[in-house]
């Protein structure tokens, strides 16, 4: 129990670190001076100090929604696979609940975009609605496939099971699921080629456009939420697709876990550096690939021997 | 003898079909009714049925003489056009009339072995022929004559197929016939009023 | 008791030779006197009159009662005919005279046990309607009167032809008795030549179908009802058709005993054809009169197939419901069309006062009742009728074919349903609101018919007994 | 005649939940209705007839109340019949319900052997002996599911439901559609069981199709009530997914899983009633105040109508299946029963089930998008028209109605286990095994498979409240200062016209599904001096007609028109040719009798045809002049 709580705390606390890490790697690869890894914390700290300015046009929603953007994600953290085996964890929560919680967060985020009557918030919400509508089926299908491979619908249970029974018979469907899930990580977290988190051109952005009218504490909440969201996805990815090392003692296991996430961040940074952002209406093509791979994963699981 | 009269009955009907003059049509109708009456008299002699005698006489008097006369009077009174060319081409009519006769025999074929059943086919044939009479004329008088011919066909059927209908029914039919004439008269009158 | 039925009618006939304008207040009262013997007949056991040529059985009693109510309603409505159309006193008197004759013929043919008497009554009724149509003095009416004269008499002649053939087929074994429905029914197995009988039945059926305006004569009836004054149409649908349908019921139950599959095949094919054409004609209809007369044809078809399928209760209920509803609608067309023939839009708008409101509500209800929405008796009759048809289909060798036929009928009925809903909405909610006058006599007639329809709902047991 | 078995009682309870808040609301709504008596009479008749349908236990009474239900709802649509579109919708609706009734009637006639007063429990034996059970099933589908608005029989629904007064729309969408499903389930479970696997698959496919198409068309809709009506199609599809899974499991002899799926379907039936009613009620309040259904003319209403807005938000969360609302719970259950497919042996079925999962998931995603749009455009931002500016909160009765319905929504969420036990008991009366012991532990719902998931609405709710409260406390602790001022908005001034419109919001999705929508786009702009990119005014207008309307409905209508025209022409013979027609008629009838009654041969039949053709040509048609 205590280890699980520590794990959750680590996830919350280290969340901004990994986003900064990606950014730093990217800058380093582009021969820029990389930003310090603690930049994310600095940003948050600055935001907390600042005064909140609420748009004149905004309603109660702006005051409430940021909490509801973050709270579902924090709740979702409770259901993450544990870093070590034999530890107490919440194992019964399945893909549908998890995606539901993520969607709840996105729902309020989109409302924020519409609340301040600015055209850019609308753009952001509209695009986010479009992308997340297409992400949701892919997400559910992937996790469904994984839970079939792991023979358990619970996310945490499945991760544990994958560690003990590595699916050597279903490697094809396992790989397909990995590819699909990876694309979904990019899409859900607003990474290139779906969205550019560092863009300064309003017309091309998705996530940033929605929060354009937020400031101070509220912005901090939303930023923290996006960091935690990345953490959730990264945790899911590493515990599903590299289910190694959780047999180790807690501290070693935690270290392995963090290393895996850092490695994942490195890959994402590499991809971001090497690809251009897709036009909005090309995005479905990428998501379509994810969905098809998810389907393939399911079907090959069935076909190649259940 | 009955055969002969019925044959003549049919031939007057066919002739009426080809007539182009109104008064001639009345004449054929009268003759048609008279042959029918005569056939009925023959039947009466054969069956000795009083009812048949009465209807035969009524037919002779009423349909054979009175009605053609009345119609002529009407036609004079209302200045009716006397030239009534049939609408169906002669070429078609020549085919149609025998075809109808063949058809009725074909229709009755399953029961032709029963006595007197060929009369049924003949009367169905005359029913169809009088329908043709109605079809081929536009003039109201010709249509009415067609209708009356049909009545004759009915009588022929009743007389030959059933060896005489019940008296009461026969009288009812005659009553209705008269009624029809009254109505026809009224219709004409209103039209000319 | 039967004799008394003719008494009020003869009285109307005699009165019509005197000044009707003065006596017309009494006419409805006189005609409602018919109810007295009708009701008394209702409680007398089955009886035969005049050497079995006339008879009173359950079916007759029922039909007589229905006809009496419709007749009274029409006499009531006739009172205000002058307000809606121009009519000279002389023509008015003649109208009444022929109306009385018509009714007498009707009663004769309904109560007939002898096929001959049935025919005589029918012919009497038919010929007297010719003049009733002619009361309207337009050239169109004149032409249609002649058409009715010719076609009606041809149809009637075909019926007689059939009757003679049936008589001929049965006479060798039954003698003079062969003219009587009852005798035929009880000795049907003794008929030698079933083929002759069937040919005869075909003639009777064709004649009756023409008279009822089945395919391909559907336009004819609609034209005539269009040409005549609206009470004539009401009489047509309420009385004349009733008489023919009753006769057809009797003939078809004979034919059914003889060879059921032929009868079913024949009527079903015919009914499908007719419904097919009628449904599409209704779909394109543009005035009330044609709408109602075409739907009258539709209901006749339904009654007939219900009857031949063995749904006697359904057929009778449908018959009675139709006999009440359709004349009511026809009577109301006098008011509905007071702005001109083709003004469906807004026809049911602009009624003021108690009479007007009542009229509006009643007509709206009648419109909905005629498309068999509950709780109209037609809803139940159609339900039970179709259940009889399904029952028949299940017992037959051509289950799928029959089911397909029934489904087709139902779908065609829903096309008609659509049109009626369309017309209902158009007359109620579209068009401009213009005031229209409604007269007490019409509303009275409608109320009477509405009450009669309601009474039907309570008399299922009674009707069931007749069918059984 | 009538029954009060647990299943019927359950739906009576359902009716009570749906109608009671609605009554308050309808009373408050009354000042908007001119024909008050007309409204009340039909309203009461409508409610009573729905109750009648539920408790009916013979085909006769069932059909009777069913038609009364259609009749009264038709009249309710016509409560305010001034607009042309309302009349059209009413006509269309009434025809479609009658069309469904036809098949229903045929179904009942077939399974009752023609005796309509037989009670339902006797029908099973007859249905079993019927030679073509699939025919019965098709009739059932056409009869009930056309009323429930399942694709492709759904086209009337987005027209009809919005045309009624809002209280009635809520009843029709929330309650009446479920009455149709009640009939469907009762007939399936009581009369038609057991069924082959394929029936279940068919229902599953229909459900998947309806849910996707419903939500896609909802997204493209600008009329708020039509949007909600389209969502009804979607949710009926979701319910059908549950029913279809239940049918599949029963056909595969997995009764426990079947019960679970049926439970999910029933639960979603209840949930959809609650949140759809609430949505219609709050949309009705908006409509009541702004006098327009066009979503583009709302905006900023959360400030003037807070209660309405919050109840809309509650219902929107629930219909979007966001945890921990009741809508989420029932969709979760349906999802779980879809995942139960891993215990199915049939390979083809197994492979096709992921598609249903996909449909359900995509539907969920699109529903979220749609309700962000509906809520955001309606209640957030600035007023987009004068109508919206003058809106105020509705009167107390309407507020009470919305609050009560909101209480139903929350109740369904909080007391989910209690409701599920009732559903379980109701299903047990059809001989399905009771599984409430297996899936319900204290306040959580377990999936039936041993390695399945668990969901606990209370836990999720508690966690969400815990975290939000913690964050709020943190904010208090940090003493966050707030100021209300202009925000940057990229340097533009925010006016009502700079806001995103609903059309724009749905733009990306509409563009992505353009091949499906095939929209009529009208783009008028006045260009300046021949420049294509410079213009003074521009009007962009998109109209999307329901799927299949063009092909199935307009096509049918065109066919009918053409057919009727030909028949009209054909029937209008020249009038003096009546005698000729009679001649041919008699000829053909006699000929027919001769052939059929005496000796049948195709040769004579052909001969007859030739002769008839000749006589018709000569006598009826005549020669061309």
Tell me the per-residue pLDDT of A180-207, one tens digit each, with 9 for 90 and over: 999 999 998 888 888 877 766 666 678 8
Nearest C-alpha of chain B: how many angstroms from C181? 15
List the domain range (segments joined by +) for residue B159.
Answer: 2-192
In C382-437, DSSP assigns E strands to none
pLDDT per position as a tens digit, D73-100: 999 999 988 888 899 999 999 999 999 9
Q: What is the pTM of this model?
A: 0.91
Cβ contact, residue pair C120, B134, below 8 Å: no
CA separation for the pair D93, C463 (Å, rounded)? 35
Cβ contact, residue pair C386, D109, below 8 Å: yes
Q: What is the pLDDT of residue B191?
A: 62
A270 vs D: CB within 8 A: no
Nearest C-alpha of chain C: how many angstroms from B55? 16
Q: What is the pLDDT of residue C77?
A: 86
With CA atoms as reference, the chain C residue closest to B161 would be C168
Cβ contact, residue pair C164, B154, below 8 Å: yes
CA-closest candidate to residue C36, choices C6, C12, C59: C6
CA separation for the pair D613, B49 (Å, rounded)? 45
List the domain range (segments joined by +) for residue A162.
Answer: 2-303
State the average pLDDT over residues B9-18.
90
Are D242 and D265 a contacting pair, CB within 8 Å? yes
Quickly list H helices, D150-254. Answer: 157-163, 166-170, 177-187, 197-219, 224-251
Which residues lie closer than 8 Å to D83 by C-beta, 6 or more apart? Answer: D163
Q: What values do phi and psi take at D482, rounded to 5?
A: -125, 145
D317 vs A: CB within 8 A: yes
CA-closest candidate to residue C142, choices C129, C133, C153: C133
Q: Give the confidence band of B34 by pLDDT, cuts at 50, 70, 90.
A: very high
Nearest C-alpha of chain B: how many angstroms from C176? 7
Q: What is the pLDDT of residue D593?
A: 84
Are D242 and D181 a contacting pair, CB within 8 Å? no
The domain total for chain B is: 1
Whether A contacts C, i.e. 3 or more CB pairs less than 8 A apart, is no
Could you tell me which residues are beta bridge partners of residue D525?
D538
Which of D317, D323, D382 has its CB closest to that of A117? D382
Q: How far apart are the first and last CA of chain D?
A: 66
The two tokens of residue C331 are 């009577």
Q: Give the confidence band of D575 by pLDDT, cuts at 50, 70, 90.
A: low
Asked if residue D577 has pLDDT above 80, the reply is no
CA separation for the pair C162, C154 (Å, rounded)? 12
Which residues lie closer than 8 Å to D606 by C-beta, 6 or more apart? Answer: none
Q: What is the pLDDT of residue B190?
A: 65
A177 vs D: CB within 8 A: no
Q: What integer best gives the mean pLDDT of chain C?
A: 86
Cβ contact, residue pair B107, D594, below 8 Å: yes
Q: What is the pLDDT of residue C411?
A: 92
Cα A60 to Cα A54, A65, A144, D120: the distances in Å are 10, 8, 37, 54
Q: What is the pLDDT of residue D623?
A: 67
Other beta carbons within 10 Å of D443? 15
State the average pLDDT over residues D247-271.
92
Q: Give the confidence band of B115 by pLDDT, cuts at 50, 70, 90.
A: low
CA separation for the pair D54, D7 (Å, rounded)? 9
Which of D99, D110, D131 has its CB closest to that of C414? D99
Which residues lie closer than 8 Å to D594 by C-beta, 6 or more apart? Answer: B106, B107, B110
Which of B107, B109, B135 has its CB closest to that of D619? B135
Q: What is the ipTM of this complex?
A: 0.89
Return the partners of chain C (3 or more C-beta pairs < 8 Å).
B, D
DSSP string across chain B: -HHHHHHHHHHHHHHHHH--BHHHHHHHHHHHHHHHHHHHHHHHHHH--HHHHHHHHHIIIIIIIIHHHHHHHHHHHTT---B---SS-HHHHHHHHHHHHHHHHHHHGGGTTSTTHHHHHHHHHHHHHHHHHHHH--SHHHHHHHHHHHHHHHHHHHHHHSSS--HHHHHHHHHHHHHHHHHHHHHHHHHH-
Q: Which of A167-171, B32-36, C132-136 has the highest mean pLDDT?
A: B32-36
Q: What is the pLDDT of residue D378?
A: 92
CA separation for the pair B40, D369 (Å, rounded)? 94
CA separation for the pair C218, A106 (Å, rounded)? 66
CB pairs under 8 A between A and D: 263
Q: What is the pLDDT of residue C133?
A: 84
The three-class DSSP label of residue A194 is coil
Which residues lie closer than 8 Å to D361 by C-beta, 6 or more apart? Answer: A99, A136, A137, A139, A140, A141
Max Cα distance, chain B (Å): 56
Are A284 and A134 a contacting pair, CB within 8 Å? yes
Q: How far apart are the first and last CA of chain A?
A: 35
Which residues lie closer than 8 Å to C81 by C-beta, 6 or more apart? Answer: C87, C92, C229, C231, C334
CA-closest candidate to residue C73, choices C451, C461, C456: C451
CA separation for the pair C8, C29 (Å, rounded)? 9
CB contacts of D576 in chain B (<8 Å) are 138
Q: Which of A203-207, B67-71, D393-397 has the lowest mean pLDDT?
A: A203-207
Q: Give the DSSP H or E segment for D514.
A: helix D514-517
Q: Spell B149-170 as b/e; 16+ CB within 10 A means b.
A: bbbbbbbbbbbbbbbbbbebbb
Q: What is the pLDDT of residue C350?
A: 82
Nearest C-alpha of chain B: how many angstroms from D592? 10
The domain total for chain A is: 1
Q: Give the confidence band of C287 by pLDDT, cuts at 50, 70, 90.
A: confident
pLDDT per position as a tens digit, D22-67: 999 999 988 888 888 999 999 999 999 999 999 999 999 999 999 9
Q: Spell D195-213 as b/e; 16+ CB within 10 A means b.
A: bebebbbbbbbbbbbbbbb
Are B155 and C100 a contacting pair, CB within 8 Å? no
Cβ contact, residue pair C193, B179, below 8 Å: no
Angle between helices C139-174 and C241-258 (to 10 degrees): 30
CB contacts of D622 in chain B (<8 Å) are 87
DSSP D194: S
DSSP D543: E
CB contacts of D586 in chain B (<8 Å) are 128, 131
Q: Give the DSSP H or E segment for C291.
A: helix C288-308
Asked if residue A306 has pLDDT above 60, the reply is no
Angle between helices A171-188 and A119-149 (to 10 degrees): 160
Nearest C-alpha of chain D: how many angstroms from A45? 12
Q: Provide the percentage of residues in chain D whose pLDDT is more than 70.
A: 98
State the average pLDDT over residues C463-467.
81
Q: Give the confidence band of A55 by pLDDT, cuts at 50, 70, 90.
A: confident
């Amino acid at each position: 129990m205590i280890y699980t709580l520590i794990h959750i705390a680590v996830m919350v606390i280290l969340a901004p670190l990994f986003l900064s890490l990606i950014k730093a790697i990217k800058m380093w690869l582009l021969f820029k001076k990389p930003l310090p890894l603690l930049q994310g914390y600095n940003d948050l700290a600055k935001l907390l100090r600042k005064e909140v300015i609420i748009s004149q046009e905004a309603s109660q929603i702006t005051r409430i929604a940021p909490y509801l953007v973050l709270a579902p994600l924090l709740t979702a953290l409770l259901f993450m696979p544990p870093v070590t085996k034999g530890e107490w964890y919440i194992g019964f929560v399945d893909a549908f609940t998890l995606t539901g919680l993520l969607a709840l967060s996105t729902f309020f985020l989109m409302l924020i975009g519409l609340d301040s009557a600015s055209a850019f918030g609308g753009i952001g919400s509209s695009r986010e609605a479009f992308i997340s509508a297409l992400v949701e089926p892919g997400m559910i299908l992937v996790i469904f496939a994984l839970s079939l491979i792991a023979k358990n619908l619970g996310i945490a249970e499945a991760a544990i099971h994958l560690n003990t029974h590595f699916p050597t018979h279903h490697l094809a469907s396992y790989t397909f699921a990995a590819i699909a899930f990876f694309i979904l990580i990019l899409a859900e977290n607003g990474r290139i080629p779906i969205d550019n988190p560092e863009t300064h051109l309003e017309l091309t952005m998705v996530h940033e456009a929605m929060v354009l009218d937020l400031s101070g504490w509220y912005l901090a909440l939303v930023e923290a939420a996006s960091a935690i969201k990345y953490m959730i996805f990264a945790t899911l990815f590493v515990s599903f697709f590299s289910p190694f090392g959780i047999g180790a003692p807690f501290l070693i296991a935690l270290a392995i876990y963090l290393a895996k996430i850092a490695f994942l961040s490195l890959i994402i940074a590499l991809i971001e550096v090497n690809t251009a952002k897709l036009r909005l209406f090309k995005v479905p093509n990428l998501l379509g690939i994810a969905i098809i791979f998810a389907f393939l994963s399911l079907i090959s699981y069935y076909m190649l021997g259940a | 003898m009955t055969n002969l009269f019925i044959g003549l009955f049919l031939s007057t009907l066919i002739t009426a079909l080809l007539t182009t003059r109104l008064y001639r049509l009345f004449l054929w109708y009268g003759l048609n009714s008279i042959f029918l009456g005569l056939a009925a008299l023959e039947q009466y002699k054969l069956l000795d049925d009083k009812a048949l005698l009465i209807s035969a006489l009524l037919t002779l008097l009423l349909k054979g003489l009175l009605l053609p006369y009345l119609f002529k009077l009407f036609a004079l009174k209302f200045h009716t056009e006397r030239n009534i060319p049939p609408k169906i081409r002669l070429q078609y009519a020549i085919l149609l009339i025998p075809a109808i006769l063949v058809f009725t025999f074909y229709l009755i074929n399953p029961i032709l072995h029963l006595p007197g059943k060929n009369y049924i086919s003949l009367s169905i044939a005359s029913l169809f022929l009088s329908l043709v009479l109605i079809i081929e004329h536009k003039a109201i008088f010709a249509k009415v004559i067609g209708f009356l011919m049909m009545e004759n066909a009915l009588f022929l059927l009743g007389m030959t197929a059933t060896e005489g209908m019940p008296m009461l029914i026969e009288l009812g039919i005659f009553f209705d016939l008269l009624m029809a004439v009254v109505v026809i008269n009224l219709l004409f009158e209103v039209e000319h009023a | 008791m039967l004799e008394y039925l003719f008494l009020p009618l003869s009285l109307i006939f005699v009165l019509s030779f005197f000044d009707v304008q003065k006596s017309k207040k009494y006419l409805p009262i006189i005609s409602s006197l018919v109810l007295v013997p009708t009701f008394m007949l209702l409680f007398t056991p089955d009886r035969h009159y005049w050497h079995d040529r006339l008879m009173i059985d359950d079916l007759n009693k029922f039909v007589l009662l229905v006809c009496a109510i419709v007749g009274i309603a029409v006499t009531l409505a006739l009172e205000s005919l002058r307000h809606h159309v121009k009519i000279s006193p002389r023509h008015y008197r003649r109208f009444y005279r022929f109306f009385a004759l018509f009714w007498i013929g009707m009663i004769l043919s309904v109560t007939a046990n002898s096929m001959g008497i049935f025919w005589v009554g029918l012919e009497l009724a038919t010929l007297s309607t010719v003049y009733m149509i002619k009361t309207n003095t337009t050239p169109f009416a004149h032409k249609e009167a002649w058409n009715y004269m010719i076609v009606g008499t041809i149809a009637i002649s075909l019926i007689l032809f059939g009757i003679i053939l049936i008589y001929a087929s049965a006479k060798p074994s039954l003698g003079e008795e062969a003219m009587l429905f009852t005798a035929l029914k009880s000795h049907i197995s003794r008929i030698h030549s079933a083929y002759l009988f069937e040919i005869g039945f075909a003639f009777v059926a064709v004649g009756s179908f023409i008279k009822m305006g089945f395919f391909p004569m559907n336009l004819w009836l609609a034209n005539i009802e269009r040409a005549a004054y609206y009470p004539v149409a009401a009489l047509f649908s309420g009385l004349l058709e009733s008489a023919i349908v009753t006769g057809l019921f009797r003939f078809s139950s004979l034919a059914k005993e003889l060879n059921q599959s032929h009868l079913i095949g024949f009527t079903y094919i015919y009914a499908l054809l007719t419904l097919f054409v009628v449904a599409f004609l209704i779909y394109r209809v543009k005035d009330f009169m044609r709408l109602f007369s075409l739907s009258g044809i539709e209901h006749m078809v339904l009654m007939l197939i219900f009857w031949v399928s063995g749904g006697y209760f359904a057929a009778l209920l449908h018959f009675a419901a139709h006999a009440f509803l359709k004349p009511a609608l026809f009577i109301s067309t006098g008011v509905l069309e007071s702005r001109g023939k083709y003004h469906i839009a807004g026809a049911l708008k602009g009624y003021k006062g108690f009479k007007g409101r009542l009229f509006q509500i009643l007509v709206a209800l009648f419109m909905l009742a005629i498309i068999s929405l509950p709780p109209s008796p037609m809803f139940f009759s159609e339900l039970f009728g179709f259940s009889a048809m399904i029952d028949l289909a299940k017992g037959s060798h051509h289950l799928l074919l029959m089911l397909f036929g029934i489904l087709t009928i139902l779908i065609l009925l829903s096309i008609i349903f659509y049109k009626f809903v369309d017309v209902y909405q158009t007359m109620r909610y579209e068009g401009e609101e213009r005031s229209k006058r409604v007269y007490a006599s019409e509303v009275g007639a409608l109320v009477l018919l509405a009450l009669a329809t309601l009474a039907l709902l309570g008399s299922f047991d009674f009707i069931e007994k007749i069918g059984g | 005649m009538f029954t009060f078995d647990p299943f019927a009682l359950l739906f009576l309870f359902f009716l009570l939940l749906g109608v009671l808040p609605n009554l308050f609301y309808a009373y408050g709504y009354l000042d908007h209705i001119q024909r008050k008596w007309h409204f009340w009479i039909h309203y009461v008749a409508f409610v009573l007839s729905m109750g009648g349908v539920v408790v009916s236990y013979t085909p006769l009474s069932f059909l009777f109340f069913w038609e009364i239900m259609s009749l009264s709802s038709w009249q309710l649509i016509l409560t305010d019949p001034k607009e042309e579109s309302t009349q059209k919708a009413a006509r269309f609706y009434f025809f479609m319900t009658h069309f469904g009734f036809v098949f229903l009637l045929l179904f009942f006639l077939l399974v009752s052997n023609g005796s309509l007063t037989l009670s339902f429990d006797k029908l099973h034996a007859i249905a079993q002996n019927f030679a073509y059970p699939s025919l019965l099933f098709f009739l059932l589908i056409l009869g009930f599911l056309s009323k429930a608005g399942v694709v492709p029989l759904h086209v009337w629904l987005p027209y009809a439901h919005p045309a009624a007064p809002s209280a009635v729309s809520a009843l029709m969408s929330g309650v009446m559609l479920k009455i149709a499903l009640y009939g469907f389930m009762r007939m399936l479970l009581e009369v038609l069981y057991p069924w082959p696997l394929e029936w279940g698959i068919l229902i599953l496919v229909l459900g998947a199709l309806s849910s996707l198409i419903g939500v896609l068309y909802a997204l493209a809709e600008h009329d708020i009530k039509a949007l909600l009506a389209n969502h009804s199609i979607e949710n009926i599809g979701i319910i059908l997914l549950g029913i279809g899974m239940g049918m599949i499991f029963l056909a595969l002899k997995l009764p426990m899983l079947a019960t679970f799926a049926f439970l999910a379907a029933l639960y979603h039936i209840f949930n959809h009633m609650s949140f759809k009613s609430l949505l219609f009620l709050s949309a009705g309040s908006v409509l009541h105040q702004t006098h327009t259904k066009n979503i583009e003319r709302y905006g900023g209403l959360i400030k003037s109508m807070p209660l309405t807005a919050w109840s809309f938000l509650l219902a929107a969360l629930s219909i979007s299946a966001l945890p921990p609302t009741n809508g989420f719970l029932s969709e979760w259950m349906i999802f779980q029963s879809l995942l139960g497919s891993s215990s199915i042996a049939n390979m083809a079925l197994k492979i096709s089930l992921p598609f249903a999962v996909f449909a359900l998931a995509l539907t969920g995603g699109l529903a979220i998008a749609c309700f962000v749009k509906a809520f955001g455009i309606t209640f957030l931002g600035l007023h987009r028209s004068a109508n919206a500016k003058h809106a105020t909160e509705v009167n107390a009765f309407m507020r009470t109605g919305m609050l009560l319905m909101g209480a139903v929504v929350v109740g369904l969420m909080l007391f989910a286990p209690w409701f599920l036990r009732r559903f379980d008991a109701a299903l047990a009366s059809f001989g399905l095994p009771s599984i409430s012991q297996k899936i319900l532990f204290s306040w959580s719902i377990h999936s039936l498979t041993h390695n399945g998931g668990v969901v606990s609405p209370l836990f999720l709710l508690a966690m969400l409240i815990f975290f939000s409260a913690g964050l709020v406390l943190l904010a208090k602790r940090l003493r966050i200062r707030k100021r209300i001022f202009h925000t940057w908005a990229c340097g533009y001034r925010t006016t009502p016209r700079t806001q995103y419109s609903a059309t724009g919001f749905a733009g990306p999705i509409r563009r992505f599904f353009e091949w499906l929508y095939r929209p009529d786009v009208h783009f008028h702009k006045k260009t300046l001096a021949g420049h294509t990119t410079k213009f003074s005014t521009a009007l962009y207008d998109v109209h999307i007609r329901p799927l299949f309307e063009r092909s199935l409905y307009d096509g049918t209508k065109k066919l009918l028109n053409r057919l009727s025209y030909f028949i009209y022409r054909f029937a209008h013979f020249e009038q003096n040719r009546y005698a000729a027609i009679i001649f041919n008629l008699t000829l053909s009838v006699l000929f027919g009798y001769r052939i059929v009654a005496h000796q049948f041969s195709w040769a004579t039949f052909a001969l007859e045809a030739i002769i008839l053709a000749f006589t018709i040509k000569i006598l009826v048609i005549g020669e061309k002049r």
